[in-house]
A = this chain, B = another copy of it.
Amino acid sequence: MRKIFTPQYPVYISSFAAVGGYEERRGPLGELFDLASDDDRFGERTWERAEGEMGRVCLNLAMKKADISPADIDLLLAGDLQNQCVATSGGLLTFGIPFIGLYGACSTLTEGLCTAAAYLSADSTLSRCAVVTSSHNCAAERQFRTPLEYGAQRTPSAQWTATAAGAFILGRYGRACIRGSLPGVMTDGYVRDGANMGAAMAPAALDTILRYFSLSGKRPSDFDLIVTGDLGAVGSEILCEMLGERLPGAERIHADCGLLLYDRDGRDFHSGGSGCGCSASVLAAKILPEICRGELHDVLFLSTGALMSPSSVQQGQNIIGIAHAVHISAV
């Protein structure tokens, strides 16, 4: 979109929930999750199905908080990292809600928030849209890299796919309002190292942030926080260095969900968290509650995605970054 998309009917985030696994519960945000599984299995036999179940439980919790049933939701927008997004289709099937499937890698959350806001803005008779995204560390490791049982060593720039999900119900009332959104442009940072996705995504985050401020006429001082999805330590350092040159002040209000989710000291998380569930769970567990309590007023939230597959990397295609921005403010 060549301009900021501003909903013509107000769109609010009415309800939200965060679900996580064992490591997420042990992290700095552990107490803030609505539910966590101690064995990361959520009662299922496989990691892949556990992820679907996690998404199902998460949407149920968000609906419960809003005191609504699936029949009250007009449209469901959701996605995950598994091939053909089967965690989403398997987990969310039983709700029976009309469904738009998304794939934006780890950027799927804000892709969904942008698109849900567009649907709600397009038709004033729609009541609610739900957005759900999830990721599972063990499912992602064996799909994208190696099965956990191999015990493969990971490089310091590698990130830890979060076992987490976030569910969001957008509607006509709430204490957090979507003021505007800006879909991202695919950006090639010429990175081919699947163990350094922060570096691949940082140029996309920079591009969307610069476009947002240029198009909106706003300044960094108009925001309390600029939150990226999962650049991790490596990607955040790259972004902040570039932001400091191009949009001074922005780097001082930057936070990254991948750095907020885990305590990295002496642990195996390396550059930080990642995955569709990373930015979703941090938004639902930490950022939105702070907005609803009035502790944060204006947040520019960007989930960041690395568009790649093992095949595309093997065939010499660069890892393409993308970042979609949503401006969320307290009401």
Chain A residues within CB distance 8 Å of chain B = 1-3, 5-8, 45-46, 48-49, 71, 74-75, 79, 81-86, 89-90, 92-93, 96-105, 111, 114-115, 117-119, 121-123, 125-126, 143, 182-186, 188, 307-312, 315, 317, 320, 322
Which partner residue on chain B sits nearest A144 by CB separation? Answer: B84
* B residues in contact with A82, CB < 8 Å: 309, 311
- What does DSSP make chain A's interface, helix, strand, loop or mixed? mixed
B86 x A114 contact (CB < 8 A): no
B185 x A123 contact (CB < 8 A): no
A48 x B123 contact (CB < 8 A): no
B111 x A101 contact (CB < 8 A): yes
Most buried by B among A96, A98, A121: A98
Partner of A86, one of B71, B115, B119, B307: B307
Q: How far is the CA of A186 from the CA of B78 in the complex (A)?
A: 12
| Given A1-B126, A84-B105, A85-B307, CB of A184 within 8 Å of CB of B98 | yes
Which partner residue on chain B sits nearest A322 by CB separation? Answer: B99
* B residues in contact with A71, CB < 8 Å: 2
Q: How far is the CA of A143 from the CA of B310 in the complex (A)?
A: 12
Q: How far is the CA of A81 from the CA of B89 in the complex (A)?
A: 15
* B residues in contact with A49, CB < 8 Å: 315, 317
* B residues in contact with A122, CB < 8 Å: 5, 7-8, 117-119, 121-122
Partner of A103, one of B2, B102, B322: B102
* B residues in contact with A3, CB < 8 Å: 125
Which partner residue on chain B sits nearest A317 by CB separation? Answer: B90
Q: How far is the CA of A186 from the CA of B117 in the complex (A)?
A: 22
Listed by A's residue number, 28 A-B pairs whose Cβ atoms lie within 8 Å are: A1-B74, A1-B126, A5-B123, A7-B122, A46-B315, A49-B317, A75-B183, A81-B84, A83-B84, A83-B309, A83-B311, A84-B105, A84-B308, A84-B312, A89-B186, A89-B307, A90-B320, A92-B186, A93-B188, A99-B183, A99-B322, A100-B114, A101-B104, A101-B307, A102-B102, A102-B103, A119-B122, A121-B123
* B residues in contact with A188, CB < 8 Å: 93
List the 8 closest pairs (A to B, CB-CB), nearest first.
Answer: A89-B307, A122-B122, A103-B103, A121-B122, A84-B309, A86-B312, A98-B183, A83-B309
* B residues in contact with A2, CB < 8 Å: 71, 74, 98
* B residues in contact with A7, CB < 8 Å: 122
| Given A84-B103, A101-B102, CB of A312 within 8 Å of CB of B90 | yes
Which partner residue on chain B sits nearest A305 by CB separation? Answer: B101
Q: How far is the CA of A282 from the CA of B122 in the complex (A)?
A: 29
Q: How far is the CA of A2 from the CA of B75 in the complex (A)?
A: 8
Q: How far is the CA of A7 from the CA of B309 in the complex (A)?
A: 36
| Given A49-B315, A93-B188, A315-B49, CB of A309 within 8 Å of CB of B99 | no
* B residues in contact with A183, CB < 8 Å: 75, 98-100
Q: How far is the CA of A92 from the CA of B317 in the complex (A)?
A: 13
